[in-house]
Structure 1
Amino acid sequence: MKTIIAIAITLAASFAQAHSGGTDSAGCHTNSKTGVYHCH
């Protein structure tokens, strides 16, 4: 049971951080939907 919970947490964290769009040399980019420029 602990293994399933650990896997679920790992997958949820990876999906929460992932999004499309490359970053510039500063690690930033403009969100194509909102037009907001942000960095990671």
Structure 2
Amino acid sequence: MSKEQTLMKLSAILIAALLSITSVAAFSHSGGTDSKGCHRNHKTNDYHCH
């Protein structure tokens, strides 16, 4: 395997790892929703749906 192929493989693994780590932050929080699937954030007084 050439040096260039090794570097490309390492880059792909690094990008995949970064994407999997940052996607964890995209999960919504649990519970506390009304019948429409919405709730109010009492800290910001924002009403939003999931």
> How high is the TM-score relative to the length of structure 2?
0.51
Higher relative contact order (CA 8 A, sep 6+): 1
Rg larger in structure: 2
Deviations 1:1-40 (A, max 9, x none): 212211211221221x235452333221111210111011
Percent of residue pairs identical? 41
Match of 1:25 in 2: 35
The answer as to whether partners of 1:27 and 1:39 remain within 8 angstroms in 2 is yes
4+ runs of 1 displaced by more than 3 Å? 18-21
Over aligned residue pairs, what C-alpha RMSD do you find? 2.1
Q: What SS does structure 2 have at the residue aligned with 1:25?
A: coil
Name structure 2 gaps, 5 residues minimum: 1-9
Give the number of equivalent residue pairs: 39
